[in-house]
């Protein structure tokens, strides 16, 4: 019998009242394991009210005390790591080792947030003018919200609420209704770590919940990760309602393969970056761009046996390279793109559409697909497929290879594999993409740097975590002070200067 999940509002689990539910599947078995309540507008407003009530006292806590909560939260997440990884794996479908990586990358942002006293220091200028001192301070915004995707149900919520809460804000997380159990558990751990009730709330919902967050005047900022069309909607709607917005969208990440690259290293990198987590990553490499015919021919020769030998299996099997897709609908969508690629004239070198796993026939499985001779006019090149499908686009020159990711509408991540330092340096400087890897297939920055793409991969202009995250979740106040000396100089009618 499926378990009925709850919201987490005001420090406790709260049953849903809407009567509407989203099925939460075990993708390995293809069976419903839980029912997630879809929040009403009133339930979201209750979460906002709880967060608003908690904000003044939490913001008034000194940064050291907030940091201590983060230290304790980190300890508790590490304590529950194995349990949460299995929980995540059974709802999403990614293998347990990958699920642990999901949690760990989120935890690294929590570690960054533990240094919040240093990060919130302002600036001070003594003697900016005659008897005048000037200083600035960073203060929290108030109630902020995060809308997070199904593919990283631990990492991305922690990317958002870790920095926001450490800065003194209160937070409402609207996780994907496909796999909400880990975000709910993280909220419970935040309370166990010592955060007051209402500091972190989790509300499961669909468009009704999202629109409430985007339009309610008590929400000061929205952080979003998901598909590009929804990211653009979130950005436009929230900005029109006077909110700060960072909205991260889709991707079509290229890997440029130069003729001097070590092709065994390249092939291994493409297998991991293209097919890991069944390709359900916004930083997955979905396009390989070999330069020169001989490079392309040799690369295809190395890729085909590697793709054919991928081990697709249950998410809890430690020997599986990757597990099932998140849902039957998404599986059908990805297979539809493979069908389309064939119609468009691409050469399907490895076909994983008909993969079946004995004993798990109802699971949402497919194996890896590999296309050669893909061209930029094809939909399978233009669109984000978000599945275990790698496209090879052949190029004749370095200039053509730079142009492909630069001119693509998405600009999340890109990589180049080469032994030529000059070529790598020029590529990194010229390519119009937000995150660049040099002999690194998935260039996700560490927590003390910042994550964000360009073009239709990001809306709002402010990146996630790192120093940019602190700037997003705080506002600067600048104070100019002068203490009277007892000498009056009369009224001044011109604009004050420091001369």
Catalytic residue positions, numbered: 282
Element (DSSP H or E) covering residue 405: helix 398-407
- Name the nearest CA neighbour of 349 among 421, 431, 288: 288
Q: How far is CA 166 from CA 35, 161, 246, 299, 474, in A?
A: 32, 8, 18, 47, 10
Q: Are 54 and 175 in contact (CB under 8 A)?
A: no
DSSP 8-state symbol, 358: T
Q: Are 179 and 150 in contact (CB under 8 A)?
A: yes
Q: What is the CA radius of gyration of the chain?
A: 25
Q: How far apart are CA 124 and CA 134, in angstroms?
A: 6
Strand order of the sheet with strand 200-202?
A: 12-14, 7-9, 200-202, 170-174, 143-147, 219-225, 244-248, 458-459
Q: How far apart are CA 378 and CA 359, in angstroms?
A: 37
Q: How far apart are CA 299 and CA 289, in angstroms?
A: 10
Q: How far apart are CA 354 and CA 339, in angstroms?
A: 12
CB-CB neighbours of 38 under 10 Å:
20
What size, in residues, is the chain?
499
- Name the nearest CA neighbour of 80 among 173, 178, 161, 192: 192
469 Cβ contact list (under 8 Å, min separation 6): 109, 159, 163, 450, 463
Torsion sign, CA atoms 448, 322, 279, 228: negative
CB-CB neighbours of 15 under 10 Å:
9
Phi, psi of 485 (to 5 degrees): -100, 0
Largest interatomic CA distance in the chain? 90
Q: How far apart are CA 247 and CA 129, in angstroms?
A: 41
Q: How far is the first Cα of the chain from the last one, in angstroms, to the nearest whole number?
A: 77
Q: Cα 128 vs. chain centroid, distance in angstroms?
A: 42
- Name the nearest CA neighbour of 483 among 40, 149, 105, 129: 129
Q: How far apart are CA 236 and CA 214, in angstroms?
A: 9
Q: How far apart are CA 346 and CA 288, in angstroms?
A: 14
């Amino acid at each position: 019998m499926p378990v009925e999940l709850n919201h987490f509002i005001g420090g406790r689990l709260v049953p849903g009242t809407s009567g509407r539910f989203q099925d939460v599947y075990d993708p390995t078995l293809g069976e419903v394991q839980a029912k997630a309540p879809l929040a009403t507008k009133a339930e979201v407003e209750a979460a906002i009210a709880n967060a608003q009530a908690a904000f003044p006292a939490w913001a008034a806590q000194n940064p050291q005390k907030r940091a201590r909560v983060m230290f304790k939260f980190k300890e508790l997440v590490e304590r529950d790591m194995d349990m949460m990884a299995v929980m995540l794996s059974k709802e999403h479908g990614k293998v347990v080792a990958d699920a642990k990586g999901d949690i760990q990358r989120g935890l690294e942002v929590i570690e960054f947030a533990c240094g919040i006293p240093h990060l919130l220091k302002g600036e001070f200028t003594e003697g900016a003018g005659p008897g005048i001192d000037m200083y600035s301070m960073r203060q929290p915004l108030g109630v902020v919200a995060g809308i997070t995707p199904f593919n990283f149900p631990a990492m991305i919520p922690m990317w958002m609420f870790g920095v926001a809460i450490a800065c003194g804000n209160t937070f409402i997380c609207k996780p994907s209704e496909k796999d909400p159990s880990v975000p709910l558990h993280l909220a419970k751990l935040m309370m166990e770590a010592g955060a007051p009730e209402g500091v972190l709330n989790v509300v499961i919902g669909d468009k009704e919940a999202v629109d409430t967050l985007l339009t309610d005047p008590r929400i000061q900022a929205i952080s979003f990760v998901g598909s590009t069309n929804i990211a653009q909607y979130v950005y436009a709607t929230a900005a029109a309602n006077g909110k700060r917005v960072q909205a991260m969208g889709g991707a079509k990440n290229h890997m440029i393969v130069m003729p001097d690259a070590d092709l065994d290293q390249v092939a291994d990198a493409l297998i991991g970056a293209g097919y890991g987590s069944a390709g359900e990553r916004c930083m997955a490499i979905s396009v390989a761009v070999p330069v020169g015919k001989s490079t392309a021919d040799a690369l295809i020769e190395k890729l085909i046996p590697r793709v054919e030998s991928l081990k697709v299996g249950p998410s809890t099997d430690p020997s599986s390279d990757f597990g099932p897709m998140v849902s039957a609908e998404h599986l059908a969508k990805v297979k539809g793109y493979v069908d389309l690629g064939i119609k468009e004239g691409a050469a399907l070198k490895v076909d994983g559409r008909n993969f079946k796993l004995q004993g798990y026939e109802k699971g949402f499985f497919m194996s890896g697909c590999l296309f050669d001779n893909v061209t930029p006019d094809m939909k399978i090149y233009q669109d984000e497929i978000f599945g275990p499908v790698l496209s090879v686009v052949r190029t004749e020159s370095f200039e053509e290879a730079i142009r492909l990711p630069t001119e693509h509408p998405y600009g999340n991540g890109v990589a180049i594999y080469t032994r030529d330092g000059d070529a790598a340096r020029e590529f990194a400087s010229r390519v119009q993409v937000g995150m660049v890897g040099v002999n690194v297939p998935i260039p996700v920055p560490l927590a003390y740097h910042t994550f964000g793409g360009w073009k239709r991969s990001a809306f709002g202009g402010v990146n996630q975590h790192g120093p940019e995250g602190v700037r997003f979740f705080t506002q600067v106040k600048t104070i100019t002070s002068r203490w009277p000396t007892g000498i009056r100089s009369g009224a001044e009618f011109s604009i004050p200067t420091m001369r």
